[in-house]
């Protein structure tokens, strides 16, 4: 059994008691390892009391806590969200750990600064061909390219391989594995009855006969909420409403011109837009179930796009974009992928009409395909295979 060390950025802890996409994905791997026990896993992470208590659920995993320091308070007052001092402590403590111990593989999770752990040449030599860089987002700007070239890459999509190639050069002889993100398939395979959907609409103040579009995400330009608001106007159908999960618009403190634009648009269509704010991941499946279509028009180069997969697992068709790694996760007929051009809003509108009013595919059958393809169990298998 391979002995591996997973090194977290140590801002949000593992177990993921305070959320965080990467933290939750790694915790999913720990959960699967408790069942399969293919790996001997240690995790270096910060361990506040709530997280320390939650480690009891993972008896097969060794948790190595970041040693806290009063100096971390300086980050709050002088460096704010940069956490410069905390990062220095993480690098030094992991360096000492790797010097004393010996692991078959070291997996650095996402943050570019973690590669600085191997600034010391003797550690690079000691762990030669055993350093893995697990990248979930775009290549960080603070990455050390020379150390990156000495890593084996775990990437959540092939799209990220192109981004790495742009940085290090296409000819660089780097080993890489695509380990696609996984979702709790058991959770998103749950279904509401017709009556429960009616009751849920009633609780939210949505008329029973309404056809529901759902958007899950933040109010930022890259998420494309403004495009959906344009669609509502183009549809001009009183029965079509929008449910926004994850953000609240009314009462929002305005920080940007984009937010001001969104608020102005929403004010004009109050009766058709329902903001439900933050919804815990364990309850999201209910909202996808209630919706007729998930409209998730990502404008930025999204490396993976988990909200699209959540919707697909829930049996709800998706309208999204050909952005980043999304086409590697989503395909027709469950998803309609559109170009990000000047016709995006009109194309979304046309496809909303097509899905709502034309004969629909059997999305429930397709949902089972996504539940298997992107389950946490499948992700775990790919993770283990990459370490072989």
pLDDT of residue 250: 47
Lowest-confidence pick of 70-84, 153-167, 223-237, 283-297 = 70-84
pTM of the model: 0.90
Residue 220 pLDDT grade (very low, low, confident, very high; cuts 50, 70, 90)? confident
| Arithmetic mean of pLDDT, 171-191 | 92
Average confidence score pLDDT of the chain: 91
The two three-digit tokens of residue 206, written as one number: 């949505």
Query: pLDDT value at position 270?
Result: 81
Q: Which of 88-92, 124-128, 248-252, 296-300 has the lowest mean pLDDT?
A: 248-252
Q: Which residues contact 293 (CB under 8 A, 6 or more apart)?
A: 212, 213, 214, 316, 317, 318, 319, 352, 355, 356
The pLDDT, as a whole number, for residue 330 is 96
* Mean pLDDT computed over 264-278: 85
- Whether the pLDDT of residue 251 is over 70: the answer is no
Looking at per-residue pLDDT, the higher value among 228 and 260 belongs to 228
Q: DSSP per residue over 77-101, as a string?
A: IIIGGG-HHHHHHHHHHHHHHHHHS
Least confident of 62-66, 119-123, 155-159, 218-222: 218-222
Do residues 344 and 320 make contact, with C-beta atoms less than 8 angstroms apart? no
Pairing, β 273-277 against β 293-295? unpaired
What is the pLDDT at residue 245?
92
User: Average pLDDT for residues 233-259, to the nearest whole number?
Assistant: 77
d(CA 316, CA 190): 12
Distance in angstroms (rounded) separating the CA atoms of residues 212 and 201: 9
Q: Which two tokens stand for residue 187?
A: 């959770």
Edge to edge, the sheet with strand 176-178 lists 62-65, 39-45, 2-7, 105-109, 131-135, 152-155, 176-178
**Measured between alpha carbons, how far is 294 from 242 in angstroms, rounded to an integer?**
10
Whole-number pLDDT of residue 29: 98
Give the per-residue pLDDT at 305.
85
pLDDT digits (tens, 9 = 90+) for 36-51: 999 999 999 999 999 9
Q: Among 31-45, 72-86, 201-215, which stretch is predicted with the lowest mean pLDDT?
A: 72-86
Is the pLDDT higher at 246 or at 276? 276
Show the CA angle centred on residue 108, arms to residues 107 and 114, nearest 5°.
Answer: 150
Locate the DSSP E strands across the chain: 2-7, 39-45, 62-65, 105-109, 131-135, 152-155, 176-178, 211-216, 240-245, 273-277, 293-295, 318-321, 335-338
Percent share of the chain, pLDDT over 90: 75
3-state DSSP assignment of residue 236: coil
**Residue 254 pLDDT level (bands cut at 50, 70, 90):** low
What 3-state DSSP class applies to 169? coil
Q: Say which residues have a Cβ less than 8 Å from residue 193's Cβ, sequence separation at least 6.
A: none
- Measured in degrees and rounded to the nearest 5, phi and psi for residue 202 equal -60, -40
**CA nearest 373: which of 107, 234, 189, 221?**
189
pLDDT (average), residues 343-354: 95
Per-residue pLDDT band at 221 (split at 50, 70, 90) = confident
Give the per-residue pLDDT at 239. 93
Burial state string for 186-213 with b = 16 or more CB within 10 A and e = fewer than 16: ebbbeebeeeebeebbeebebeeebbbb
Please, which pLDDT band fits residue 249 given cuts at 50, 70 and 90?
A: low
Residue 162, pLDDT > 60, answer yes
Average pLDDT over residues 284-290: 96
- Domains, the chain: 2-179 (3.40.50.11930), 185-373 (3.40.50.2000)
**Residue bearing the bigger pLDDT, 137 or 248:** 137
296, 305 Cβ separation under 8 angstroms: yes
Task: Locate 288 and state its tokens.
Answer: 């996808």
Binned at pLDDT 50, 70 and 90, residue 358 comes out as low
**pLDDT score of 195 more than 60:** yes
Question: What is the C-alpha separation between 190 and 192, in angstroms, rounded?
Answer: 7
Please tell me the number of Cα atoms within 13 Å of 248 on its side-chain side.
8
* Residue 210 vs residue 254, higher pLDDT: 210
The pLDDT of residue 260 is: 78
5 CA to centre of own chain: 22
Q: Is the pLDDT score of 237 beyond 70?
A: yes
Give the other-Cβ count within 10 Å of 153's Cβ. 19
């Amino acid at each position: 059994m391979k002995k591996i060390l997973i090194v977290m950025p140590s801002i949000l802890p593992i177990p993921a008691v305070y959320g965080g996409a990467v933290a939750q994905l790694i915790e999913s791997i720990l959960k699967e390892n408790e069942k399969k026990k293919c790996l001997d896993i240690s995790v270096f992470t910060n361990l506040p009391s709530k997280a320390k208590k939650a480690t009891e659920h993972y008896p097969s995993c060794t948790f190595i806590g970041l040693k806290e320091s009063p100096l971390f308070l300086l980050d709050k007052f002088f460096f704010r969200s940069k956490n410069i001092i905390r990062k220095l402590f993480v690098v030094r403590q992991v360096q000492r750990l790797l010097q004393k111990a010996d692991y078959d593989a070291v997996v650095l999770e996402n943050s570019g600064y973690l590669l600085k752990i191997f600034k010391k040449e003797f550690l690079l030599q000691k762990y030669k061909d055993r350093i893995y860089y697990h990248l979930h987002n775009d290549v960080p700007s603070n990455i050390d390219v020379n150390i990156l070239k000495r890593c084996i890459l775990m990437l959540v999509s092939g799209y990220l391989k192109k981004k790495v190639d742009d940085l290090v050069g296409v000819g660089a002889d780097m080993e890489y594995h695509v380990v696609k993100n996984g979702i709790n398939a058991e959770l998103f395979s749950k279904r509401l009855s017709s009556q429960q959907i009616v009751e849920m609409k009633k609780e939210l103040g949505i008329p029973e006969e309404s056809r529901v579009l759902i958007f899950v995400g933040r109010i930022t330009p890259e998420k494309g909420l403004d495009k959906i608001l344009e669609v509502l106007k183009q549809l001009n159908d009183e029965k079509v409403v929008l449910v926004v999960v994850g953000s609240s618009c009314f009462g929002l403190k305005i920080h940007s011109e984009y937010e001001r634009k969104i608020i102005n648009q929403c004010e004009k269509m109050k009766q058709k837009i329902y903001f439900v704010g933050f919804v815990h991941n364990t309850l999201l499946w209910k909202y996808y179930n209630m919706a007729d279509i998930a409209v998730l028009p990502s404008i930025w180069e999204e490396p993976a796009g988990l909200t699209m997969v959540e919707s697909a697992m829930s049996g709800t068709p998706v309208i999204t974009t050909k952005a980043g790694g999304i086409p590697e996760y989503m395909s027709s007929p469950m998803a309609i992928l559109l170009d990000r051009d000047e016709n995006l809003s009109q194309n979304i509108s046309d496809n909303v009409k097509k899905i709502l009013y034309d004969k629909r595919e059997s999305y429930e059958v397709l949902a089972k395909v996504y539940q298997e393809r992107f389950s946490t169990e499948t992700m775990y298998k790919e993770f283990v295979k990459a370490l072989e």
